[in-house]
């Protein structure tokens, strides 16, 4: 198993572009909000400052990847969420 520090991205390796006019942060269709604690195994990796998307407000936390709690102090997430990271400014909730 490869482990990575919880650091922010410095570059993008690849990805699909978001069509003009579509909000890139609200792409879940048919979803609904749930109260905190409804899915206690679900975690949100958030950044205080993030260079991946330029529309973030400096100083605010913004969700950019999901994760799953697999032990009381361990989470698992997709490799691209932490690949080529460089600075410690993530928050996991």
Per-residue confidence in pLDDT tens, the chain, 93 aa = 444 444 444 444 445 555 666 665 665 666 788 888 888 888 888 776 545 544 444 556 677 788 999 988 888 988 888 765 555 555 555
For residue 47, count CB atoms less than 10 angstroms from its CB and return exposed for 0-12, middle for 13-18, buried for 19 or more: buried
Question: Is 27 inside a domain boundary?
Answer: no
Q: What domain range includes position 55?
A: 42-81
Strand partners, 36: none
Model pTM score = 0.49
Residue 74 three-state SS: strand
Span 12-21, pLDDT tens digits:
444 555 566 6
Question: Is 16 inside a domain boundary?
Answer: no
Question: Is 89 inside a domain boundary?
Answer: no
Span 80-92, pLDDT tens digits:
887 655 555 555 5
Question: Is 33 inside a domain boundary?
Answer: no
Residue count (the chain): 93
Number of domains in the chain: 1
Asked whether the CA dihedral 85, 47, 91, 87 is positive or negative, the reply is positive
Question: Is 59 inside a domain boundary?
Answer: yes
Question: Is 11 inside a domain boundary?
Answer: no
């Amino acid at each position: 198993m490869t482990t990575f520090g919880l650091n922010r991205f410095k570059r993008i390796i690849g990805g699909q572009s978001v069509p003009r006019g579509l909000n890139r942060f609200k792409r879940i269709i048919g979803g609904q909000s749930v109260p905190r604690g409804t899915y206690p195994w679900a975690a949100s990796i958030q950044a205080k400052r993030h260079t991946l998307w330029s529309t973030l407000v400096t100083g605010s936390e913004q969700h950019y990847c999901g994760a799953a709690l697999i032990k009381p102090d361990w989470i698992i997430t997709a490799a691209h969420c932490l690949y080529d990271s460089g600075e410690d400014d993530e928050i996991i909730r």
